[in-house]
Structure 1
Amino acid sequence: MEIKWKIFGIYLAGSSLSLFLFWLGERAISGETFYFDFTTFILALLLPAGVIYYLAAKLNQRLKKLNSTAQSIAQGDFTGVYLPDSSDELGQLGTEMISLAQQFKVNAQKNSQEAQKIEAIVTGMQEGVVALDQVGRVVLVNAAAEEIFGFPEDKVKGKYLTEAQGYNVLEELVRETLEKGQFGSTELILNAKNVRVQISPYLGEPTRPRGAVIVCHDVTELRRLEQIRTEFVGNVSHELRTPLTSIKGFVETLLDGAAEIPEHRERFLKIIQTETLRLQRLIDDLLTLSRIENRRGESETSLSSIQEAYEKIKPVIESYAEAKGLELIVNIPPDLPPVEMGIDLLSQVLLNLLENAVKYTNQGKIWLSVSYENSFVHLEFGDTGCGIPEHDLPRIFERFYRVDKARSREQGGTGLGLSIVKHIVEGSKGRIKVASRLGSGSVFSCDLPAVQQGELD
């Protein structure tokens, strides 16, 4: 039954009741004097009012329930949805609201799931992502972008990006992207990092950008590797050019007639031989370094004994130390566990570090002390030589880096020995470090993972 008929029926019922009571009142009047029946008047007034008030109150109660349901749906709460109790317009409205609430709930769940997926993807990205609205205010910042830019999301959300950090180049790119819908890219130095920045608009209707997305790539390591490569090529070129220039010059001198003079010929040929051997050592070291780097990440299955590796290089080191009048002290316990490294690589580590100790020690002693502790075989290579300046210590494992360039070349060094040692040790999951003081000698320490008896079985 429609509400309008209910209201019309209420009106007819109230009017009829009022007229009936009025008629009863008129019948109560007798004689010429008008008699006003106050009780009848009150009944004619209050009874229809009470009936109408009761029905209106019921209607108001239903409307309040519908209003409460609408508020609950708007707030995303679907637990207090009103169930209609009749089939009139209010009942139909309640039914439609239930259907709307169910559809809204399904859509809200889908949107929430999609938002969670997007948030998980953006959060897990290694690239920094910053989302901006159509006027350039920050909407979203993922964890990678927080690290790159150096500010947390809650500090910049709702603010302009340049207001938070103030990058003029980035501000210009953002402005062009939001105004013209253009893609942009640049490279910035942010917090001592090289960062490649790409800005892309996301368009609204018809073509005006509704915002922009900034994607940041930390290319610091890439630039560092490029610099190392450039320096490596330059160093190799220099190291090859120096002996080749000497060889070329002396060969030309011999061809021009110096070969006819025996003492000149012998001296020049010895220089050519020395420079040729220097070239050979350089090329051998480069090949060794390349081979070690190419094998990095491969599993090493061979095991080696420290004592066995030392026995291979013992004649060379003892004769070298004896020739310089140095005391050589070697302490290798017999019960050491083996290390997971090929015997040739382990011998090269021992040879390079002991040769360096002898090379840069003019008097005193050199030593090798080996011990076992906490699943590592600890090797200590020490000397009482010239030592290393403190500012050179962080770079001595770099390729071609020499503390004293002239002296190193005189002694036949290629500048690759320590770099080779570091690659071998770290390739076997070991550690190497150095402690030194200028004029007081140096101590190189290597920790190599030991193979336990249970692993051997």
Structure 2
Amino acid sequence: MKQDWRGALVRRLLLLVGGCLLLGLISGEYAWALVIGLGTYLGWTLKQLLRLHRWLQEHQPGEAPPDGYGLWGEVFDSIYHLERRNERARGRLQAVIDRVQESTAALKDAVIMLDRDGNLEWWNRAAETLLGLQTPQDSGQSISNLVRDPRFKDYFERENYLEPLDLPSPVNSRVQLQIHVTQYGNSEHLMLVRDVTRLHQLEQMRKDFVANVSHELRTPLTVIAGYLETLLDNVEEVNPRWLRPLQQMQQQGARMQNLLNDLLLLARLEATDYPADRTPVAVDLLLLSIKNDAQALSGPRQHRISLEADPHLRLKGSEAELRSAFSNLVFNAVKYSPDEGRIDIRWWGDEQGAHLTVQDNGPGIEAKHLPRLTERFYRVDSSRASATGGTGLGLAIVKHVLLRHRARLDIASTLGQGSTFTCHFPSTQAVRRAK
């Protein structure tokens, strides 16, 4: 088509020049004939260009272009057909967008589109029900101004969306919401909000059941343990064949008491989101006490336990909870490390915050078990756990204590080479004491 246009243009120019030369031959004024002919052609071309410009500025959708002749007619028709194709493509895209919006609007989960600054761009009807958004007055508003929970503001600004956020609905505090945020495009945000009230209620029922049953079992267990202790204290008055059964009952009773104590501790940890006491804890002295207890637990197994702790770095939180978490990590290393094994405890800080590492040279843990180690009652080897007297709740307690202190637990292990447990606390929890 381009070659046809170029050929037609050349032919027209040659005809024009030829006509001008013929007129000049007749009149004897070749120069004036060329000037008049080319000027006329230029004027006609400018007129067609102005017609095209006026049509592009003023035409309505679907309006045909003005009539043109020759090359300009081809230009008008090409522009018109191109515009028609674009209109059809826009129509198809708009139909797809309309279907997506209609299907999204029908979802029971809230879908909210935010720009890179967190301002509202679009949301479905469920967002109005769950979050109280109002159309159209909330358009362009910052989501942090409409969902005023401090936990949401902190979650959104940290831009770490690997885990969802659970919090009450700003419309109805009895409705529990779960919020997922995903970044896409040019740092824009897609926020999904689900009503998880039923799941939350079931989880709360489970927690209450465990806490109540654990509490109710303490009294009968205490009575049984007391009578067993009395019988064993007067072992000379007991038939010798009952001595071993009584000792086994006392041992299993102690295990049940430890289990109940751990369950009650977990229930207390889950009852609140953040420890009430936030005084700076001298972690170096706390770890020194735990090290001494671990050395006593090791006893004749003679583990080599080393401690390296920054005496000027403290941690805001509950000393009792931190002792429970840290001692679980250290005592686990003692239980599962071979005799005369090495256990290294290190407490230090950097620009990211404060860190505690407990490293041992024990048998290690297979990679497939690592993601589930902090689950309640999960055991890599049930027979080994029974031999050490474990309850299967130690690492679950560690995880909950760290969550309450806004920290996380990293686990690295290699079979035959040992394991490393590292607690990472954010800089907001660390306190640097003056030297």
Band the TM-score falls in, shorter-chain normalisation: 0.3 to 0.5
Query: Which is bigger in relative contact order (C-alpha 8 A, separation at least 6)?
Result: 2
TM-score, length-scaled by structure 1: 0.45
TM-score, length-scaled by structure 2: 0.47
Higher gyration radius (CA): 1
